[in-house]
Amino acid sequence: MIKVGIVGGTGYTGVELLRILALHSDVKITAVTSRSDVGMRVDALYPNLRGYLADLTFCLPTIDALSNCDVVFFATPNGTAMLMAKELLDLGIKVIDLSADFRLKDVSEWEKWYGLTHASTDLIAKAVYGLPEIHRDALKTADLIACAGCYPTAVQLGFLPLLEKGVVNTDNLIADVKSGVSGAGRKAEIATLMSEAGESFKAYAVNGHRHLPEITQGLTLMTKQAVNLTFVPHLTPMIRGIHATLYATLTNEISPAELQNIYETRYAQEEFVDILPFESHPDTRNVRGSNRCQIALHVPQGGKTVVILSVIDNLVKGAAGQAVQSMNLRFGLPENQGLATVALYP
């Protein structure tokens, strides 16, 4: 039985981890931290967990409280995991970070985009990027896992087969991506109030979003050359879901059947990536609550632009589910353990 600790158990990704791990047959949740709710029963704050976590209560995020864990998940804001990771690793505890603390390999880039001085630069090189469809073998032996962000997951899985095959121009990739408001976290902010976000739709961070360098880093690794990406995120009036509309220009004439085959072949063994029939239109509700990414391809008017539609649940495949998928790999468990669920509909 894997003894699990969760730092930051009161946010959306934290409670999503609890929801998934509560039913994981090889996991025992032994510590859930919260600075503001110490001593409160976890299922008192989240009644949907009643009957699944016994009398588990929130504790302070200290090394002592986590010292008996085999693995600790950080479902915390950026800048927290880097302060505790080394002490946990020194105790032989595996660390899975859902924040961005260890995703970027260039420290100066990280500090530029996140506005902090990195406290554990020596660990960055040791971190394995938590996108199993690309880094599966490395994750099997990783002690520190930096889970991919939600936007980066949808975008990278969408572009991956084309970049690996080298059949598109990497000078002008476009990612037009929409997210539900849960992607902003469980903090109270005017922009995500229902009366502000409801019945509205807007782009934001057009001049630069902090997920841009993460996505670019991943795409560059895929294609082994410089990549120029225009990434524009949008906020949509829904709770869960990410819809990425991706554009790339084909460098050679490729038939729709050949394009479809590239994707179906690349993801044939990937349980959590579903390639829909050509010219389908994936809907975010069809992956809601699941760890799946659904992808569909289009070549409008038979031209040279390929349009890839990629949808995920930002809290599952874009966060907690992907973290559990990575944990399963690290501990030699079936990759779908605790994740074999059907999406919610409607």
> Counting Cβ atoms within 10 Å, is residue 307 exposed (0-12), middle (13-18) or buried (19+)?
middle
CA distance 254 to 260: 10
Is residue 238 a contact partner of residue 302, using CB atoms and an 8 Å limit?
Answer: no
- Give me 195's structure tokens: 């009366």
Cβ contact 56:41 at 8 Å: yes
Report, as residue numbers or ranges, the catalytic residues. Answer: 150
Start-to-end C-alpha separation, the chain? 35
Residue 159: closest CA among 145, 146, 147, 176: 176
Q: Are strands 27-33 and 58-59 parallel, antiparallel or unpaired?
A: parallel
Please, what is the angle between helix 150-165 and helix 132-139, to 10°?
Answer: 90
For CA atoms 204, 207, 212, 213, the dihedral sign is negative
Tokens at 161, concatenated: 């087969």
